[in-house]
Structure 1
Amino acid sequence: MDGIELSDLCIQLHEDNWTLDAFPRIFSDYTFNNALRNTLLLGCLTGLGSLLIGLLFAYVDVYVHIRSRMTKKLFDVVSLLPVVSPPFVLSLSMMLLFGRSGLITRMVLGIYDSDIYGLWGITIVQTLTFFPVVYLMLKGLLKNIDPSMEEAARDMGASRWKVFTTVTLPLLLPGLGNAFLVTFIESVADFANPMIIGGSYDTLATTIYLRITGGTYDINGASAMAVVLLGLTLVLFLIQKYVLEKKTAATLTGKASRGRMLIEDKSVRYPLTVLCTAVSVFVILMYIAVPFGALFKLWGRDYSLSFKWFEQMFRERGWQAFKDSFVLSIIAAPVTALLSMIISYLVVKRKFKAKGFIEFVSMLAMAVPGTVLGVGFIRGFAGGVFRTGFLQGIYGSGLILIIVFVVRSLPVGTRSGISALRQIDKSIEESAYDMGAGSGKVFMTVTLPLIKDSFFSGLVTTFVRSITAISAVILLVTPRFLLITCRINEYAEKGEYGVACAYATILILITYAAILIMNTVLKYFGTSKKIKGEVK
């Protein structure tokens, strides 16, 4: 948004009075009602699709004997690729491979009127993006099922399918519901994919954005829509957090009593392995398409290699976009990691009245869609805090972007820190207290070194999440700062997919380089195995 738009927004915020008139107005608005229906339908389809593929990968990983080490490695890579990749990479790939000028649709199949925009295009992209979350959740649950329960059914003559439907699946039901709600929340909160590949299929996230940036500057209407979207995700988050998670924990208790006999039957092993391989190859193909989209001279017509899109990217302020994104993310990362460890320490190691409230608030950002957070920051800071003028200067600055990065990444670091701290025996810290050390000294010299793996993981995770963020910052970024993700969205909207792919390619390299550095540091400088053994 340029300076004039920011001025208009501030004027409207100052002129607004406290009123609920916006809610009746949006509920009678066809655009809002259509977007709400579209969002709910998209969430259901994405949740079901992610559930099926995630369950397939988890079952094959835990139950099926995969003889090829390369195939096993392929499944592991594919199940983690979308988790650490920028949120819009698969949308770009869908257009490059299956669009009107798609490599597969036009060059291979000879289809010239392919239309992958809309509901099914978003559903496919979101399913491939979110199914690894389901896979990681269900993999742990399947490992905790005692194999003796399933083997008893097999000894009584039940088929593999009968055992799965009557023993395994009922034990997994709370976990399946939990995984479905998590992906449903991720789907309805997603902004990048519907914005790029949605076409005329509006969702609440994109409608809120367009209501603000489409020329009407309807902050009241956008805020009311944001409240509805927040209410939807918050209710689902509470159900998932405090209902289904407890049922899952109560249903699958402890660890399996002994090792599981992996399935060797060809009738089971071959079809499941082929299905997972097909999905894996498809996902890999999608990711390969992005760098080639940046290297081909003109996608759909001229497939000769060229660096023209990279040259255009850097010629049109590309260096500034990478510099601004990198600097802001680097600043946000240590702040978030340190705050996460402090909150985790208070939650796990201290007893006080507001303990539950602090833990809940630190996790709440997981349920807040990025677009809603962006609208909230506009309402909260464009006219100063509560329109008092206090801190109004941070609106449009880099500081507000850093704050957004911190808020968005705090829950991930906090959960990691809480898990790590709960593994530390109390006697280790108590011995330091007995020797006269204070709380601060114990935290800095005993606790923090033991959880430095989680601290560093949170550091890198925050950096990756910040540099790939778009939904929360796209409403807040100004011409003073250029962000990589916003530039990708801008070029994709203009149909300049070569430049968008060039940005995305370098962004992917940055994120994977950060993860590689993290793994290397943890491998050679992380908490030693000896200390970990003593802690356990």
Structure 2
Amino acid sequence: MWICLGNSLALAACSTAVCALISLPLAQIFARRDFPGKAFWQTILMAPLILPPFVGAIGIQQIFARFGALNHALGLVGPGVAEPHPIDWLGAGGFAGVVAMQSLHLFPILFLNLTAAMANINPAMREAARGLGAAPGRVFRTVTLPLLAPGFFAGAILVFVWAFTDLGTPLVFGWYNVVAVQIFDKVTEAGFNPFGYALVLVVLLTTTVLFLVSRHLLARQDYATQGKASAREDLVPLRGRGLACAVAGLAGVSALALLPHASVILQSLSGKWFMSALPQEWTLERYREVFTLPQTVAGLRNSLFYASLSAGVDVALGVAIAWWLARKEFAGKALLDALTVLPLAIPGIVLAFGYVIAFNVPPSWRGFDLEGLRAWVNPRENPTLLLVVSYSVRRLPFVVRSVHAGLRQMSVSLEEASRNLGASSAATLRRIVLPLVRGNLIAGAALTFAFAFLEVSDSLILAMKEQFYPVTKTIWALMGRIEPGAAAVASALGVLGMFLLFAAFWIANRVLGKRMGNLFG
């Protein structure tokens, strides 16, 4: 256990460190400088969020494997550059590949946290330090960094937890000796091997403590903005060499950020791609197969069904909870508020493992026939109910926070006027509240649906029979096949998921704008 725990901690620490190295200079540029195309570059830097690392890893392997596209491209540059011993870009056992994939996916989260934290720092503090003769480097080290600490560590903890509990990426790269993969493997041994229980407990305690620390740091972040100047700090325009260096750096980071997307798209369009820098054949056949192969059609149908049900559950519960939190005062309100956020701290592998154990209903118990119950709740027989419940539980905060934000912007007087005219609370909610928060509700529901559609951990653990596989489990199954074109079909499924998630983010961003970041922390 200690070896896989150490590997997971090392993986999370390295991914967090790489994210920090990427995000800190970017945040400094975007928070302090003004330059042409700033909005465009910021949009490009958010692109990693629309592609789950589990999917991006498929394309990255095609490029960076020992006999992948990059080594063959280097071979074209000159004989012997990557031959006879191809460069192992992914590192021994895939560790470097997992770190790279997680870092490219997660750095936008830390970048957003740091940019917001920098924008909220009182500029008078830096001006005072410069007025006392401090050099720019010393001002950054002694003034800016300490004030950034709460926002930085809150974002870094979120990245760390995400990397620590990631299941899909280590599976794809073959880095199996980590906590998440070991829990996944121990599901089938849960009846007689306590090792899985111990790992789940370690993960739950670790993530809960880190989540509480993150919440505490965010609560303390106000100390960095106390006494904030009423006038916004003027952004320094970039020109000449400074602008050229900034654009070159942004172009480099953006190219790396978009590399997984490009690799998956190339893989999905390849008719044949083996031992070459680019596909030898190009085709759209893989997209046709996505909608014709029985396995992929079943995966799409199942995911649409599971995600739609979970989104409906979250909308119903989310509206009720958000309305009670925004409009009512009652004992236990703080507890309810905390419980709605708690799912963000519970990794999918923990929730799914717990469901497998809790609902492993036997055929009979003390003479009672339990086959009917077993057919509905035992994931080994039918995971539908548990998949919908797990998707709903983990994505409920999106709807609650989105609707709650809309209710806080809406005047209570409209509801009071409705009730004064004799309308019931239900009628007021249906005719007044829901139409006014419709945009927020759509934004939360869209994110809930998209994330449920592409959920990895719950899907891989709970869906045990092929007839119930959702999209992500179907992708995983296709990657394990040896027949030609299977990986390309998996990539085509991933591309469809990528565009679905992009549409959800676009809808949410149009409605919530800068407040969308509040949904994730």
Q: Structure 1 residue 234: deviation in Å? A: 0.8
Question: Which one of the candidate residues 217, 223, 226 is aligned to 1:244?
Answer: 217
Q: Are positions 1:485 and 2:460 aligned together?
A: no
Question: 1:16 aligns to what?
Answer: none
Paired AA for residue 213 in structure 2 = I
CA distance in 2, matches of 1:221, 1:163: 50
| Partner SS state of residue 271, structure 2 | strand
Q: Are positions 1:56 and 2:28 aligned together?
A: no
CA distance in 2, matches of 1:165, 1:431: 55
CA distance in 2, matches of 1:157, 1:272: 27
| Partner SS state of residue 383, structure 1 | coil
Q: Are positions 1:226 and 2:204 aligned together?
A: no
Inter-CA distance 304–206: structure 2 relative to 1 (3 Å threshold): same
Inter-CA distance 508–43: structure 2 relative to 1 (3 Å threshold): same
Matches within 5 A, 1:277-356: 277-301=251-275, 302-310=279-287, 313=290, 314-356=292-334
Q: Structure 1 residue 292: deviation in Å? A: 0.9
Q: Structure 1 residue 454: deviation in Å? A: 1.6
CA distance in 2, matches of 1:49, 1:77: 20
Inter-CA distance 218–253: structure 2 relative to 1 (3 Å threshold): farther
Question: Which one of the candidate residues 351, 354, 377 is aligned to 1:394?
Answer: 377
Question: Which one of the candidate residues 361, 364, 371 is aligned to 2:349?
Answer: 371
| Partner SS state of residue 473, structure 1 | helix
1:12-60, Cα deviation, whole Å (9 max, x unpaired):
xxxxxxxxxxxxxxxxxxxx22111111111111222222322332222
Matches within 5 A, 1:142-161: 142-161=118-137
Q: Percent identity at matched positions?
A: 26
Question: 2:393 aligns to what?
Answer: 407
Q: Structure 1 residue 341: deviation in Å? A: 2.1
1:266-315, Cα deviation, whole Å (9 max, x unpaired):
56554444323211112223211111112122223352212454455533
| Partner SS state of residue 466, structure 2 | coil
Query: Is the 2:361–2:377 Cα contact (8 Å) retained in structure 1?
Result: no
Question: 1:132 aligns to what?
Answer: 108
CA distance in 2, matches of 1:418, 1:249: 22
1:382-440, Cα deviation, whole Å (9 max, x unpaired):
228xx995954233242221111101101222222333333334444334344444433
CA distance in 1, matches of 2:505, 2:10: 35
CA distance in 1, matches of 2:385, 2:17: 39
Question: 1:108 aligns to what?
Answer: 74
Question: 1:444 aligns to what?
Answer: 430
CA distance in 2, matches of 1:95, 1:154: 48
Question: 2:335 aligns to what?
Answer: 357
CA distance in 1, matches of 2:190, 2:319: 43
Question: 1:7 aligns to what?
Answer: none
- For structure 1, which runs of at least 5 residues remain unmatched after alignment? 1-31, 527-536
CA distance in 1, matches of 2:267, 2:218: 42
Query: Is the 2:318–2:399 Cα contact (8 Å) retained in structure 1?
Result: yes
| Partner SS state of residue 278, structure 1 | helix
Question: Which one of the candidate residues 80, 87, 95 is aligned to 2:46?
Answer: 80
Inter-CA distance 131–516: structure 2 relative to 1 (3 Å threshold): closer
Question: 1:471 aligns to what?
Answer: 457
Question: 2:171 aligns to what?
Answer: 195
Q: Structure 1 residue 137: deviation in Å? A: 1.9
Q: Are positions 1:39 and 2:8 aligned together?
A: yes
- For structure 2, which runs of at least 5 residues remain unmatched after alignment? 76-80, 514-521
Paired AA for residue 46 in structure 2 = L
Query: Is the 1:320–1:482 Cα contact (8 Å) retained in structure 2?
Result: yes
| Partner SS state of residue 353, structure 1 | coil
Query: Is the 2:52–2:105 Cα contact (8 Å) retained in structure 1?
Result: no
Question: 1:260 aligns to what?
Answer: 233
CA distance in 2, matches of 1:363, 1:459: 16
Query: Is the 2:391–2:452 Cα contact (8 Å) retained in structure 1?
Result: yes
CA distance in 2, matches of 1:216, 1:433: 54
TM-score (ref. length: structure 1): 0.83
Q: Which moved more, 1:411-420 or 1:226-235?
A: 411-420
Q: Structure 1 residue 82: deviation in Å? A: 2.2
Inter-CA distance 467–345: structure 2 relative to 1 (3 Å threshold): same
Inter-CA distance 52–338: structure 2 relative to 1 (3 Å threshold): farther
Query: Is the 1:65–1:269 Cα contact (8 Å) retained in structure 2?
Result: no
| Partner SS state of residue 297, structure 1 | strand
CA distance in 2, matches of 1:312, 1:401: 26
Q: Are positions 1:498 and 2:514 aligned together?
A: no
Inter-CA distance 513–262: structure 2 relative to 1 (3 Å threshold): closer
Inter-CA distance 204–399: structure 2 relative to 1 (3 Å threshold): same
Q: Structure 1 residue 518: deviation in Å? A: 6.2
Paired AA for residue 468 in structure 2 = F
CA distance in 2, matches of 1:52, 1:377: 38
Inter-CA distance 334–54: structure 2 relative to 1 (3 Å threshold): farther
CA distance in 1, matches of 2:334, 2:119: 30
Matches within 5 A, 1:113-124: 113-116=87-90, 117-124=93-100
1:364-383, Cα deviation, whole Å (9 max, x unpaired):
11111111111111122222
Question: 2:155 aligns to what?
Answer: 179
Paired AA for residue 210 in structure 1 = D
Question: 2:517 aligns to what?
Answer: none
1:464-506, Cα deviation, whole Å (9 max, x unpaired):
1011101012121123312111111122244642222122122
Question: 2:404 aligns to what?
Answer: 418
Q: Are positions 1:204 and 2:190 aligned together?
A: no
CA distance in 2, matches of 1:339, 1:207: 34
Paired AA for residue 211 in structure 2 = F
CA distance in 2, matches of 1:337, 1:79: 30
| Partner SS state of residue 462, structure 2 | coil
Question: 2:138 aligns to what?
Answer: 162
CA distance in 2, matches of 1:157, 1:269: 26
Q: Which moved more, 1:39-48 or 1:83-92?
A: 83-92
